[in-house]
C-alpha cells in the first residue's frame, strides 16, 4: 500500500522532472490533469480524535473547503493550520493513503481547570474557549488577572492538598487585581484568605476547622485576614 506523508513538496519535485523529461504538450496535458480535482479525487476522509471533544461538523467544514484539490495536489499543511484554530485541537497529523483516503489524527487538549465561566486552561497553562456545552463540569473554576493562570493553578494545588484531611474540595478560587485570594468550598463556605501568607493562614484555619464544626452552626463565610485569628459569619 502506497502512502504519501505530510510533505507535498518532496514528491512534487520528481513529478515535475518527469513531466519535463516527457516534454511538450503531453507533459503539459498531464500536468493539467494532475491539478484537476476530478483526477484521483479524495474519496474518503477518516478523522480520529481520542476523546471526541472536537465537533465533527467543524472538522468536516474545514476539510471540505480543501477538497477542491485532488488526492495528489491537496495540501495537508493547509488543513492542519485550519484545524489548529479549533479550540479543542492541540496537534494535528495528516497522511494520504493510496488511492484516495485522507487520514486525520487529532490530539485534543487536556483541561486541568476552568478559567472563568466559559474558559479552560490546559497543562501548558494556555487558555482556550470551546463551546460551553463541552466544558467539563467537575473541574475547579479559577479566576485571575491576565497571565496569572499558572500562579493561580499552583496555588489551588497547594490549598487543595492542605484541605484533603477534611474531605472537602475547592470549587472556586479567585485572585483579584490587588493580589488577594478568595475561595469557595464545595460545602458553600466562602473563605477570604487575603494577600499576606495565604498558605499559613489557610493551614491555621484548617487546623481549627474540626473544632469549629462541633458548635453546630453553619458557617457561611470566614475571613482569615487577621494576624492572630479569623472571623466567622454563621447562618
Residue closest to 194 by CA, chosen among 179, 184, 205, 208: 179
Q: Does domain 3-108 correspond to CATH entry 3.10.20.310?
A: yes
Q: Inform me whether the pLDDT recorded for 68 exceeds 80.
A: no
pLDDT, average across residues 181-186: 97
Tens of pLDDT, residues 112-125: 999 999 999 999 99
Confidence of residue 13 (pLDDT cuts 50, 70, 90): very low
**Mean pLDDT in the chain?**
85
- CATH architecture, range 111-234: 3-Layer(aba) Sandwich (3.40)
Fold: same for 3-108 and 111-234: no
Tens of pLDDT, residues 129-162: 999 888 998 999 999 999 999 999 999 999 999 9
Residue closest to 234 by CA, chosen among 188, 203, 201: 188
Using CA atoms, how far residue 233 sits from 40, 216, 224, in Å, is 73, 13, 12
Q: Inform me whether the pLDDT recorded for 103 exceeds 80.
A: yes
Burial-class residue 164 by CB neighbours within 10 Å (0-12, 13-18, 19+): exposed
**Number of other residues whose CB lies within 10 A of the CB of residue 5:** 12
Where do the domains of the chain lie? 3-108, 111-234
Q: Inform me whether the pLDDT recorded for 179 exceeds 60.
A: yes
Using CA atoms, how far residue 124 sits from 111, 115, 156, in Å, is 10, 13, 16
99 preceded by cis ω (within 30°)?
A: yes
Amino acid at each position: 500500500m502506497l502512502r504519501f506523508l505530510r510533505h507535498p513538496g518532496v514528491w512534487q519535485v520528481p513529478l515535475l522532472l518527469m513531466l519535463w523529461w516527457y516534454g511538450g504538450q503531453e507533459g503539459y496535458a498531464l500536468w493539467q490533469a494532475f491539478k484537476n480535482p476530478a483526477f484521483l479525487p479524495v474519496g474518503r476522509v477518516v478523522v480520529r480524535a481520542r476523546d471526541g471533544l472536537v465537533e465533527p461538523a467543524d472538522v468536516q467544514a474545514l476539510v471540505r473547503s480543501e477538497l477542491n484539490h485532488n488526492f495528489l495536489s491537496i495540501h495537508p499543511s493547509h488543513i492542519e493550520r485550519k484545524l489548529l484554530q479549533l479550540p479543542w485541537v492541540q496537534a494535528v497529523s495528516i497522511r494520504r493513503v493510496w488511492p484516495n483516503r485522507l487520514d486525520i489524527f487529532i490530539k485534543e487538549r487536556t483541561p486541568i481547570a476552568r478559567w472563568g465561566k466559559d474558559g479552560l486552561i490546559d497543562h501548558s497553562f494556555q487558555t482556550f474557549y470551546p463551546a460551553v456545552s463541552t466544558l467539563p463540569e467537575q473541574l475547579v473554576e479559577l479566576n485571575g488577572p491576565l497571565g496569572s493562570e499558572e500562579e493561580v493553578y499552583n496555588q489551588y494545588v497547594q490549598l487543595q492538598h492542605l484541605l484533603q484531611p477534611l474531605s472537602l474540595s475547592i470549587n472556586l478560587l479567585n485572585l483579584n487585581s490587588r493580589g488577594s485570594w478568595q475561595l469557595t468550598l464545595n460545602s458553600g463556605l466562602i473563605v477570604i484568605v487575603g494577600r499576606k501568607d495565604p498558605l499559613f493562614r489557610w493551614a491555621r484555619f484548617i487546623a481549627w476547622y474540626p473544632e469549629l464544626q462541633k458548635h453546630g452552626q453553619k458557617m457561611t463565610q470566614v475571613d482569615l485576614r487577621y494576624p492572630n485569628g479569623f472571623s466567622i459569619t454563621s447562618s
